């Protein structure tokens, strides 16, 4: 691929694209890019690189990773590390990069969940894979019922104090634990920047459970993962299951999920969207961004064309 120079028009949409993350100094793009799928060692590196370039060239400054994204585990971070060296190094200060630890990553008792031992070691590994000195945001990827919350949260505080992350976040924590985390971190002057949860037109749990409201009232940002329900909330599956789609490739999106009732609902939403002159994906993303307290939607993409289409949601 030719030498990379970022597009001079990448901040053209600034006025509508960026939004403050809770009560913090950080602005995040309303559309952020996640590297869970399509950036692993099994994927075509040049295509992954092209999607990352496209994202940055269009103002998507926030990239979201986790230690175990791939497959294999760790390889999405390696892909980003390579792109950092090949393309993005001059733009490091224009990027807001997050990673996480919380799910199984390596063998033995210290490669999973929420211990200080795991979080500290995992972030050091992530930094090496991504070829970074620090991440902008480090998350506890999930709530650990067996580790004292104080231990997990103090590890996050100490990671910031050590300069390895600028901000901290939590993902998939239940309401009471989230309330505790907000207070604990506030008292240590490392306020919780953001909560990452699944919120989309098919899964409204963070609203129903009060997480979104708590975040909003507490000045904590909220970023929605799988905002398109892994592709269900697009036109991808309206006329069958296309070869190469996530449903044919991954066990995370199972055929059984696409019930006749769901298909009927998606078709109705699609018709409503088309009547408004939008695609179903645009409508689904706009619906999330309209909810009070939502900072950003964290989309996935297997092509630049998908990302281009999804960006129209904020146009
Ligand atoms: N915190 C957590 O526990 C957690 C969990 C899950 C995800 N996440 C984060 O959220 C990010 C996004 O998750 P996700 O990939 O599930 O998000 P998503 O945006 O709901 O789904 C993305 C997939 O939908 C399809 N798609 C996207 N735009 C499309 C369009 N315009 N038309 C047709 N199909 C389209 C593509 O699948 P095809 O392959 O079929 O093209 C794409 O890979 C992840 O990368 C990760 O950073 C976090």
Q: Cα torsion at 2, 3, 4, 5 (round to 10°)?
A: -120
* Residue 22 near residue 193 (C-beta atoms within 8 A): yes
Report d(CA 278, CA 299) in Å as an integer.
Answer: 17
Mean pLDDT of 4-19: 94
Query: Residue 18 pLDDT > 90, yes or no?
Result: yes
Mean pLDDT of 47-71: 98
pLDDT score recorded for residue 238: 96
Query: Residue 200 pLDDT > 80, yes or no?
Result: yes
Is 306 near ligand 1, meaning CB less than 6 Å away?
Answer: yes
Banded model confidence at residue 281, pLDDT cuts 50, 70, 90? very high
pLDDT score recorded for residue 15: 81
Is 224 near ligand 1, meaning CB less than 6 Å away?
Answer: no
> How high is the mean pLDDT of the chain?
97
pLDDT score recorded for residue 44: 98
Banded model confidence at residue 13, pLDDT cuts 50, 70, 90? confident
Mean pLDDT of 23-33: 98
Q: 148 alpha carbon to ligand 1 midpoint, in Å?
A: 32
This model's pTM is above 0.95: yes
Q: Write out the E strands in the chain.
A: 18-20, 27-29, 31-34, 62-64, 96-101, 135-140, 165-171, 192-198, 221-225, 296-299
Alpha-helical (H) ranges within 131-204 are 149-161, 175-187
- Tell me, letter by letter, the H, E, C secondary structure of 201-267: CCECHHHHCCHHHHHHHHCCEEEEECCCHHHCCCCCCCCCCCCCCHHHHCCCCCHHHCCHHHHHHHH
Domains, the chain, with CATH or none? 14-234+279-314 (3.20.20.100)
Name the residue of 66, 114, 173, 231 whose CB sits within 8 Å of the most ligand 1 atoms, as the mutation to test its pocket. Answer: 231
The DSSP secondary-structure symbol of 274 reads: H
Banded model confidence at residue 251, pLDDT cuts 50, 70, 90? confident
Is 37 near ligand 1, meaning CB less than 6 Å away?
Answer: yes
């Amino acid at each position: 691929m030719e030498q990379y120079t970022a597009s001079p028009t990448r901040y053209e949409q600034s006025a509508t694209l960026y939004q403050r993350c809770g009560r913090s100094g950080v602005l995040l793009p309303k559309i952020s890019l996640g590297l869970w799928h399509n950036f692993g060692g099994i994927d075509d590196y040049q295509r992954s690189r092209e999607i990352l370039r496209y994202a940055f060239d269009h103002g998507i400054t926030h990239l979201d990773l986790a230690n175990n994204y791939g497959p294999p585990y760790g390889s999405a971070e390696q892909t980003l590390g390579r792109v950092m060296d090949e393309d993005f190094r001059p733009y490091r200060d224009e990027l807001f990069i997050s990673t996480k630890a919380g799910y199984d990553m390596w063998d033995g008792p210290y490669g999973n969940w929420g211990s200080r031992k795991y979080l500290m070691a995992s972030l050091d590994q992530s930094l090496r894979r991504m070829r970074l000195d620090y991440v902008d945001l480090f998350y506890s990827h999930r709530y650990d019922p067996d580790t004292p919350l104080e231990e997990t949260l103090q590890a996050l505080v100490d990671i910031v104090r050590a300069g390895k992350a600028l901000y901290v976040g939590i993902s998939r924590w239940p309401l009471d634990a989230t309330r505790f985390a907000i207070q604990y971190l506030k008292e240590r002057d490392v306020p919780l920047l953001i909560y990452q949860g699944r919120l989309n037109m098919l899964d409204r749990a963070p609203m129903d459970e009060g997480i979104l409201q708590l975040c909003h009232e507490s000045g904590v940002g909220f970023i929605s993962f799988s905002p398109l329900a892994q592709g269900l909330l697009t036109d991808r599956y309206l006329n069958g299951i296309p070869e190469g789609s996530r449903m044919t490739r991954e066990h995370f999106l199972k055929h059984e999920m696409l019930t006749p009732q769901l298909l009927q609902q998606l078709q109705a939403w699609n018709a409503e969207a088309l009547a408004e002159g939008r695609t179903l994906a645009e409508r689904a993303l706009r619906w999330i961004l309209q909810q009070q307290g939502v900072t950003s939607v964290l989309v996935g993409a297997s092509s630049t064309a998908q990302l281009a289409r999804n960006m129209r949601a904020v146009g």
